[in-house]
């Protein structure tokens, strides 16, 4: 068995169709969904209910979910 850089025949970015590369957060004006309503936020249960519905972009306009927030 030969060891390669790929696991399970995953496609690289160059091989993926353009519509698959884009994710739901690529758009600047994506809709804010509270963490408790999302499947990708496993620690949402520890967020204080008073602040759960606050969109981080209100305080940090440059916030993007898949990017590093720099101050």
Q: What is the DSSP letter of 32?
A: P
Helix boundaries (H) for the chain: 18-21
Q: Return the residue matching tokens 């979910």.
A: 65
End-to-end CA gap in the chain: 47
Q: Where are the domains of the chain?
A: 35-71
CA distance 28 to 39: 21
pLDDT at 14: 57
pTM above 0.85, yes or no: no
Which pLDDT tens digit goes with each residue over 12-56?
Answer: 555 655 555 555 555 667 788 898 898 888 888 899 999 999 998
CA distance 22 to 27: 9
């Amino acid at each position: 068995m030969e060891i390669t850089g790929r696991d399970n025949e995953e496609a690289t970015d160059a091989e993926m169709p353009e519509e698959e590369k884009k994710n739901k957060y690529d758009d600047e004006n994506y809709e804010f969904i509270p963490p408790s309503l999302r499947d990708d936020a496993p620690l949402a249960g520890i967020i204080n209910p008073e602040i759960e519905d606050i969109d981080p972009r209100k305080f940090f306009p440059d916030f993007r979910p898949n990017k590093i927030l720099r101050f």
